[in-house]
């Protein structure tokens, strides 16, 4: 059932995929490039972009383009939602939440043929929340 991952099985494509799968941080192309570079110092950013696009089309990874100016990538293609921190931009998975959170009643309110939806939560990550509290204490004057 797994899509065949590559027409040409190159080291670059393999390493891009492996490193992405090691991460739960949903990196941008540039972030992943820096990581992959530790194993393949001569790889180019363009190759990372091309492989990320290719793997997305093959449905081996997924591209998260809900908001923000940079696309982020997720090595986990199972359907799940994400939270984005409004302070630091970090993106995390939300596990356990039903993937069909948004019902089919939508079709009654539009003339579009609904194929799906994109949902992303926004909030403050624990780290930024903690930093906030520290600042609050520090700023008492």
Say which residues have a Cβ less than 8 Å from residue 102's Cβ, sequence separation at least 6.
117, 119
Helix, strand, or coil (residue 110)? coil
Give the C-alpha separation, 20 to 22, whole Å: 5
* Interface positions, 69-128, toward its own copies (CB under 8 A): 83, 85-86, 92, 94-97, 101-103, 105-106, 108-126
* Interface positions, 27-66, toward DNA (CB under 7 A): 28-30, 40, 42-47, 49-51, 53-54
Residue 141 contact among DNA, its own copies, none, beta carbon within 5 to 8 Å by kind: none
- Which residue pairs, CB below 8 angstroms and at least 24 apart, start in 131-136? none
Q: Count interface residues toward its own copies (CB under 8 A).
A: 37
- Which of 1, 4, 8, 116 is the binder for DNA (CB under 7 A)? 8
Residue 96 contact among DNA, its own copies, none, beta carbon within 5 to 8 Å by kind: its own copies
Residue 12 contact among its own copies, DNA, none, beta carbon within 5 to 8 Å by kind: DNA
Q: Could you tell me if 17 and 60 are in contact, meaning their C-beta atoms sit under 8 angstroms apart?
A: yes
Angle at which helices 11-22 and 45-57 cross, to 10°: 70
Alpha-carbon 135 to chain mean position: 30
Q: Token digits for 46?
A: 């363009």
- Which of 10, 59, 67, 86 is the binder for DNA (CB under 7 A)? 10
Residues that bind its own copies (CB under 8 A): 65-68, 83, 85-86, 92, 94-97, 101-103, 105-106, 108-126, 129
Residues that bind DNA (CB under 7 A): 6-13, 28-30, 40, 42-47, 49-51, 53-54, 69-71
């Amino acid at each position: 059932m797994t899509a065949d991952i590559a027409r040409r099985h190159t080291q670059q494509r393999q390493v891009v995929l492996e490193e992405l799968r090691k991460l739960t941080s949903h990196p941008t192309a540039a972030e992943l490039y820096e990581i992959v570079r530790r194993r393949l110092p001569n790889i180019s950013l363009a190759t990372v972009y091309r492989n990320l696009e290719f793997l997305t089309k093959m449905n081996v990874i997924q591209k998260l383009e809900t908001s923000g100016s940079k696309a982020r990538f997720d090595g986990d293609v199972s359907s799940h939602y994400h939270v984005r921190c409004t302070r630091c931009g970090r993106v995390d998975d939300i596990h356990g939440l039903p993937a069909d959170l948004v019902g089919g009643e939508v079709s009654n309110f539009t003339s579009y043929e609904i194929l799906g939806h994109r949902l992303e939560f926004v909030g403050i990550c624990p780290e930024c929340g903690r930093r906030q509290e520290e600042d609050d204490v520090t700023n008492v004057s």
